[in-house]
Amino acid sequence: MLRIFHYLKKLLLANENKFFGLIIGILCILQINILWKNRAALQLAFRQNMGYVPTQLLINNLVYIIYLMMASFILLIANKPRRKYSKIGPKLISLLASFLPYLLIFAPEPTLFNVPIFIPLLLMFLGVIISVTALLSLKKSFSITPEVRGFVVSGLYSFVRHPMYLGGFISAAGFVLLRLNIFSIVVYGVWVVTQVWRARFEEQLLVKEYPDYEKYLKKTSAFFPLPKIRR
């Protein structure tokens, strides 16, 4: 039994991102199922000429489903990485950063103050669009845990080093505004810290694999397209 456990552990660690691709694929199916179950409510909203809200909700969900499908497919066909961590710490931080935002689903109704709904919906849409655009640039270099599969400087990566995380920050902020309370703010704050930590782990690997990454670090900001201050 112990031998089987060690074999499964070794298999999982060797194919961890394929496993996460499978999980993301399941999340995609669940999202499609949720959208399908709520189709009657959306149709009713359209008939009642509620306009903006159901339209934006539908668009947000469709774009998010496209993002999940792309991420799942890329991870499932991913090649062996050029470099990755053998220690469990960076992988655990990355997992926490990847799935912690899903806790926001369980956030209670707003208790601080209500924000006009078009603001969080627009932020969620903008964030997912940024993430999808970044993923199109990353392609097979994308991974959940810190791994080196390539050095991408095209597209949004010519402006910031982690545009996918920027997209995540924006879309999750929209969800927080939708359910603005202490719980959602705390979850968001902890998640941002783990994402920054995760980005540092990734950059350490990239610097070791690509000497030119040091120059890229000096030229670009981590998350927001701010001008670099020359010393």
Whether 225 is in a domain gets the answer: no
Whether 26 is in a domain gets the answer: yes
Whether 24 is in a domain gets the answer: yes
Q: Is the pLDDT of residue 61 over 60?
A: yes
Give the residue with greater pLDDT, 155 vs 49. Answer: 155
If you average pLDDT over every residue of the chain, what do you get?
Answer: 84
CB-based contacts of 54: which residues, under 8 Å, 6+ apart? 42, 45, 46
Nearest to 161 by CA among 207, 211, 127, 199: 199
Buried b (16+ CB within 10 A) or exposed e, 8-28: eeeeeeebbbebbbeebbebb
Asked if 160 and 166 count as a contact pair (C-beta separation under 8 A), the reply is yes
Q: Is the pLDDT of residue 57 over 80?
A: no
Residue 152 tokens read as 């991408």
Whether 226 is in a domain gets the answer: no
**Model confidence band, residue 52 (pLDDT cutoffs 50, 70, 90):** low
Domain count, the chain: 1
Q: Is the pLDDT of residue 69 over 70?
A: yes
> Which helix (H) or strand (E) covers residue 231, if one does?
none
Residue 114: give its domain's CATH number.
Answer: 1.20.120.1630
pLDDT computed for residue 7 by the predictor: 46
Residue 50 tokens read as 């509620």
pLDDT computed for residue 73 by the predictor: 92
pLDDT computed for residue 231 by the predictor: 43
Q: Is the pLDDT of residue 141 over 50?
A: yes
CB-based contacts of 180: which residues, under 8 Å, 6+ apart? 110, 111, 112, 113, 114, 115
Whether 47 is in a domain gets the answer: yes
Helix, coil or strand: residue 59: helix
> Backbone dihedral region of 109: left (phi > 0), alpha (psi from -120 to 50 degrees) or beta?
beta
Please, is 87 exposed, middle or buried when counting C-beta atoms within 10 Å of its C-beta (0-12, 13-18, 19+)?
exposed
If you average pLDDT over residues 82-86, what whole number do you get? 83
Whether 198 is in a domain gets the answer: yes
Cα separation, 150 vs 98, in Å, equals 20
**Model confidence band, residue 72 (pLDDT cutoffs 50, 70, 90):** very high
Q: Is the pLDDT of residue 82 over 90?
A: no
Range of the domain at 129: 2-219
pLDDT computed for residue 55 by the predictor: 74
What tens digit of pLDDT does each residue of 101-140 get? 888 888 887 777 778 888 888 999 999 999 999 999 998 8
pLDDT computed for residue 104 by the predictor: 87
Whether 18 is in a domain gets the answer: yes
Whether 231 is in a domain gets the answer: no
What tens digit of pLDDT does each residue of 143-177 get? 888 888 888 999 999 999 999 999 999 999 999 99
Amino acid in position 35: L
Asked if 207 and 154 count as a contact pair (C-beta separation under 8 A), the reply is no
Range among 46-50, 51-55, 100-104 rated most confident = 100-104
